[in-house]
Amino acid sequence: MGSVIDAPKVADANKDADGNLLSDKKLTVVFVLGGPGSGKGTQCANIVEHYGFTHLSAGDLLRAEIKSGSENGTMIENMIKEGKIVPSEVTIKLLQKAMLDGGNDRFLIDGFPRNEENRAAFENVTKIEPEFVLFFECSEEEMERRLLNRNQGRADDNIETIRKRFKVFVESSIPVVEHYDARGKVRKIDAGRPVEEVFEAVKGIFSPFSSN
């Protein structure tokens, strides 16, 4: 598998049943970023319930791809165990398909873009600009505690992989947050507090999307 995005192929995959490009639709996309265990998935579930967004977790899509028996499954499995970032073309294809299948115009894209390659490739391929980036800030001590207590049987929730994921987050994902921060697009949340308190802060950001 090459690392260069096959633009025409992906552009085709980017069309809905009527042949419209995703980027032609009035889509609202919010990227949800934060360290491993900062509470992205937990808060996305709350946002879905209150604000009618569809939640797409890049990590969940990759894990489903492993289970599906796809030809990329072993490669993805090995990268997740090492806390490494899967090549963008794989993740973007999964996200595009999920967005087209989603039948919604509001998406929370959780755990993506994880590095500059993810960010630039998504922008080039989909032409979609995020509305904003919701960024959950949390200490490594707290995130480590949460991940070691998660008990969901994830292959990467062990101390060795957790430390690698923290390193990748600092080295590769923080620069993405800085990219959007320089453009005034980051909404930062103190995620070290109890779930309900974090959601109160999230509500303050999502109130414009309230249907009431």
Q: Give binding residues as ranges.
A: 37-42, 63, 84-86, 111-114, 118, 150, 154, 165, 193
- The reply to whether 153 sits near ligand ATP by the rule CB under 6 A is no
Which listed residue (41, 73, 102, 192) binds Mg ion by CB under 5 A? Answer: 41
**Which residues 6+ apart lie within 8 Å of 152 measured at CB?**
none
- The reply to whether 63 sits near Mg ion by the rule CB under 5 A is no
d(CA 59, CA 152) in angstroms, rounded, equals: 14
- Phi first, then psi: give them for residue 56, nearest 5 degrees: -120, 110
Residues 162-191 that bind ligand ATP (CB under 6 A): none
Residue nearest to ligand L45E5XJ5 as judged by C-beta position: 59
Q: What is the DSSP string of 97-116?
A: HHHHHH--SEEEEET---SH
Annotated binding site for a ribonucleoside 5'-phosphate: 63, 84-86, 111-114, 154, 165
User: How crowded is residue 10: how many other Cβ atoms within 10 Å of its Cβ?
Assistant: 17
CA distances (Å), origin 104, targets 77, 91, 168:
29, 20, 32
Stretch that binds ligand L45E5XJ5, among 7-15, 52-60, 120-128, 197-205 (CB under 6 A): 52-60
- The reply to whether 83 sits near ligand ATP by the rule CB under 6 A is no
- The reply to whether 146 sits near Mg ion by the rule CB under 5 A is no
- End-to-end Cα distance, the chain: 48
Tell me, rounded to whole angstroms, the distance of Cα 63 from its chain centroid: 13
From the list ligand ATP, Mg ion, ligand L45E5XJ5, none, which binds 79 (C-beta under 5 to 8 Å, kind-based)?
A: ligand L45E5XJ5
Residue 167 carries which side chain, given as an amino acid letter?
A: K
Residues 78-107 that bind ligand L45E5XJ5 (CB under 6 A): 79-80, 83-86, 91
* Spatial contact of 110 and 41, defined as CB atoms under 8 Å apart: yes
Q: What is the DSSP string of 128-159?
A: PPPSEEEEEE--HHHHHHHHHT--S--TT-SH
Annotated binding site for ATP: 37-42, 150, 193
Q: Which is nearer to ligand L45E5XJ5, 175 or 204 (CB)?
A: 175
Residue 72 carries which side chain, given as an amino acid letter?
A: N
From the list ligand ATP, Mg ion, ligand L45E5XJ5, none, which binds 15 (C-beta under 5 to 8 Å, kind-based)?
A: none
Q: Shortest approach of Mg ion to residue 33 CB, angstroms?
A: 11
**Binding residues vs Mg ion (CB under 5 A):** 40-41
